[in-house]
């Protein structure tokens, strides 16, 4: 089963990478960008085939390693 995890900064948390993208797009002539935010995208190929168990395991992985839940949100998409 494939797990796709998005880890994004919570609203209100300063995002220097996003700001750098905004400014650089502006200096490259791309106007009309109101905001840019950068997060992480993690793809896992896991052996578990039961969706409920897989979600539980991947949630534990996010809580323990993949996301810093003080400043980051995560979302999980599973696909057989």
Nearer to its own copies by C-beta: 3 or 70? Answer: 3
Q: Which residues contact 29 (CB under 8 A, 6 or more apart)?
A: none
Distance of closest approach, residue 23 Cβ to its own copies, in angstroms: 11
Q: Which residues contact 41 (CB under 8 A, 6 or more apart)?
A: 4, 5, 6, 7
- Footprint (CB under 8 A) of its own copies, residues 10-49: 18, 21, 24-25, 28, 30, 32-48
Nearer to its own copies by C-beta: 11 or 70? Answer: 11
Q: For residue 47, count CB atoms less than 10 angstroms from its CB and return exposed for 0-12, middle for 13-18, buried for 19 or more.
A: exposed
Binding site for its own copies (CB under 8 A): 6-8, 18, 21, 24-25, 28, 30, 32-48, 57, 60-61, 64-66
């Amino acid at each position: 089963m494939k797990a796709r995890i998005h880890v994004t900064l919570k609203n209100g948390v300063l995002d220097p990478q996003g700001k750098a993208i905004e400014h650089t797009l502006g200096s490259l002539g791309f106007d009309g960008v109101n905001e840019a935010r950068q997060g992480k995208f993690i793809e896992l190929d896991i052996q578990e085939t039961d969706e409920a168990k897989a979600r539980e395991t991947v949630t534990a992985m996010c809580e323990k390693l993949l996301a810093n839940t003080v400043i980051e949100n995560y979302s999980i998409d599973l696909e057989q």
